[in-house]
Amino acid sequence: MNLELAAARDQALTVRCPYRRCLADIGQPCRRTDGHEFVSLPAHPARLTAAGVELTPTTPDELADQPQRTWSPTDAIRDQR
């Protein structure tokens, strides 16, 4: 995780995650629905937005708000092809 993402995560931790399948409290990191911590994203896109984080997405799909599906590392691998 680079410095920009680390700063974005710190900023995101100052608000509660509004994503209804996560709802991480202030100070608690977002977790994926399988319980693992995020790898490429510092927090859920909705939480980043709520915290006022301006993040440059590495792939358009990475920060897209897609409530119907959960981002997973396999998506990033697919996007790089």
Residue ranges that bind Zn ion, judged by CB under 5 A: 17, 19, 22, 24, 30, 44, 47
Q: Which of 25, 40, 38 is nearest to 79 (CA)?
A: 40
66 in helix, strand or coil? Answer: coil
Closer CB to Zn ion, 25 or 54, in the complex: 25
Q: Which of 47, 18, 45, 22 is nearest to 32 (CA)?
A: 22
Task: Provide, rounded to whole angstroms, the least separation between the CB of residue 34 and Zn ion.
Answer: 13
Task: Provide, rounded to whole angstroms, the least separation between the CB of residue 43 and Zn ion.
Answer: 6
